[in-house]
Each structure stands twice: as C-alpha cells, then as structure tokens.
C-alpha cells in the first residue's frame, strides 16, 4: 500500500535525517497499548516482586552454587 506523507521538516544536514525521521514516524506511528498487568500470584512466585523481608530460597540457592574447577 502506498501512502502519501507530507512533511515540513527542512533537511539542513547532508544526510537529511530529520525529514527521514518525520516520514518514518508518520508511516509507523506508535500504537496505543493496554498496560501489562500480571496477577499478584504470578509476581510473587518468582520472588522478584516480593519485599525483601518476604523473600525465601536465598540460602538454598547459595548452598547449591558450586565453583567451577579446571
């Protein structure tokens, strides 16, 4: 599909980046998105969203970590 785009940017630099960006923005304008909302159970299952006092498993992960030899 061919779309006619009129732009008023003046290209003062040799590469004419400003008009190219204006035309690209007109052709590919960002689409509005709904905010990404995760359920509370999914956020706390990984432990990343839990407050520092409620995190568990840190000692177990550190105990399983082994150094690489060789």
Residue 64: pLDDT above 80?
Answer: no
What residue ranges do the domains of the chain occupy?
Answer: 14-66
pLDDT at position 10 is: 65
pLDDT at position 14 is: 75
Using an 8 Å Cβ cutoff, are 47 and 55 in contact?
Answer: yes
pLDDT digits (tens, 9 = 90+) for 15-60: 788 888 888 888 887 888 888 887 766 555 555 555 665 555 555 6
Using an 8 Å Cβ cutoff, are 50 and 44 in contact?
Answer: yes
Q: Is 55 helix (H, G, I), strand (E, B) or coil?
A: coil
Mean pLDDT, residues 1-16 taken together: 70
């Amino acid at each position: 599909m061919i779309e006619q785009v009129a732009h008023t940017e003046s290209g003062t630099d040799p590469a004419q980046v400003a008009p190219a960006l204006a035309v690209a923005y007109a052709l590919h304008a960002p689409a509005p998105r709904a905010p990404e909302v995760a359920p509370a159970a999914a956020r706390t299952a990984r432990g990343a969203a839990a407050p520092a006092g409620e995190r568990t498993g840190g000692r177990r992960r550190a105990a399983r970590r082994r150094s690489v030899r060789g």
